[in-house]
Amino acid sequence: MKKGVRSQSLQALKERRKQIDLIDQKLLFLLNRRLSIALEIGKIKKERREKIYNPKREDEILKRLNLKNRGPLKEEDLKKIFKKIMRVCRKSQIT
């Protein structure tokens, strides 16, 4: 039985949302993994009496990611996202 255009597009919408939900789940897992490692780094820095804030390292990360980026994510948006991620990691290392 042939499906209508509306029903086909509704199916496509549902499939894309399923894909997004799976990606979000993976992102959440990876963000938690990243934070766990950042917390370990925080402990090592404390033992070594090093400063938590490392602007040079943050700049290097942003630069490397920007070189790797193939889009469609814009450079400014990539920067915003990762600055926020690093800020959360840095704040968590302190507290």
Residue 61 or 78: the one with the smaller Cβ distance to ligand PHB is: 61
Residue number closest to ligand PHB, CB atom: 89
Which residue in 87, 79, 69, 85 sits closest to 30, CA to CA? Answer: 85
Residue 38 or 69: the one with the smaller Cβ distance to ligand PHB is: 38
Q: What tokens were used for 91?
A: 């704040």
Q: How far apart are CA 33 and CA 68, in angstroms?
A: 21
CB of 31 to ligand PHB, least distance (A): 11
Binding site for ligand PHB (CB under 6 A): 38, 53-54, 57-58, 61, 86, 89-90
Residue 35 or 69: the one with the smaller Cβ distance to ligand PHB is: 35
Contact yes or no for 81/87 (Cβ under 8 A):
no
Contact yes or no for 88/35 (Cβ under 8 A):
yes
Residue 79 or 90: the one with the smaller Cβ distance to ligand PHB is: 90
CB of 50 to ligand PHB, least distance (A): 10
- The number of CA neighbours under 13 Å toward the Cβ of 61 is 15
